[in-house]
Amino acid sequence: MNTGRPAVAARIKDNWCELVESVKQSASQAGRSADEIRIVGVTKYVTADHAIDLVHAGCRHLGESRPQSLWEKSEALREIDGIQWHMIGHLQRNKLRKTLPLIHCLHSLDNLRLAQSLADELDTQPPRGSLPCLVEVNVTQDTTKTGLPPTELPKFLEQLAPLKRIKVIGLMAMSTLHATSEQIRHEFAQVSELLVAMKLRFESTHDLSQLSMGMSDDYREAIAEGATIVRIGSTIWKGVEP
């Protein structure tokens, strides 16, 4: 069953190191330091074994887009110290209770009902204190996509202000699928500008500093436009059977 495991682990390590190097390059081209950019390794395509290989390669921040998969993987990796899990996809309210204690950060906050349930649940989980969250915005023309339209963002941030256990740390966004590099940069630039505007407006309420944007096909554009967190899956798993 484990045939080829060392070879696969080596491949994952190579892919990871290549990615780290490429992120460094993109940062330097943008006149930024790579230290400002965190890579979240998205494990949704692979088994827990491969996720462990990725941790051993040096990735400490892992992301899953479905609660169930996050539960399973975090259980399988529970004995490894220092892993921080990121919930990057939609979080249903009925999955909150079980998910909350496992995660370091939620990337997909986009409605008040979820925020209120989160806040209530955090009240019953005192050791946790607060949860770092990113508000997901949709700057594409695609209204079927998840995320808040930018016009609704100020009101949402106002509504979040009294929910002290929700620690809003910034914004998350995705670009239009298969868009040109130019269009992608334009969209990410919009998110970046939104962050600057919201930072000013909510200076005394929220500490907004993070931009979670950029996946395997568009992290270079995202870094050029100020991303501080990139969420990378496919690139890490190139040549690895799920």
Ligand X SMILES: *Cc1c(COP(=O)(O)O)cnc(C)c1O
Q: Which residues are at the interface with ligand X (CB under 6 A)?
A: 42, 44, 65, 88-89, 215-217, 231-235
Q: Judged by CB, which is closer to ligand X: 122, or 174?
A: 174
CB of 59 to ligand X, least distance (A): 13
Q: Judged by CB, which is closer to ligand X: 83, or 88?
A: 88
Report the amino acid identity of residue 161.
A
CB of 76 to ligand X, least distance (A): 19
CB of 65 to ligand X, least distance (A): 4
- With beta carbons less than 8 A apart as the criterion, state whether 15 and 239 touch: yes
Q: Judged by CB, which is closer to ligand X: 190, or 235?
A: 235
Q: Judged by CB, which is closer to ligand X: 207, or 217?
A: 217
Indicate the helix (H) or strand (E) that contains 10.
helix 5-29
CB of 96 to ligand X, least distance (A): 18
Q: How far apart are CA 170 and CA 153, in angstroms?
A: 11
- With beta carbons less than 8 A apart as the criterion, state whether 169 and 194 touch: no
CB of 200 to ligand X, least distance (A): 27
How far does the chain reach from its first CA to its final CA, in angstroms? 13
Q: Judged by CB, which is closer to ligand X: 88, or 160?
A: 88
Give the angle subtended at the CA of 102 by the CAs of 218 and 195, to the nearest 5°.
Answer: 40
CB of 177 to ligand X, least distance (A): 10
Helix, coil or strand: residue 143 = coil
- With beta carbons less than 8 A apart as the criterion, state whether 121 and 168 touch: no
Q: Judged by CB, which is closer to ligand X: 90, or 201?
A: 90
Residue 48: partners with Cβ closer than 8 Å, 6 or more residues away: 72, 73, 76, 77
Give the nearest residue (CB) to ligand X.
233
- Orientation angle between helical segments 48-57 and 67-76, nearest 10 degrees: 60
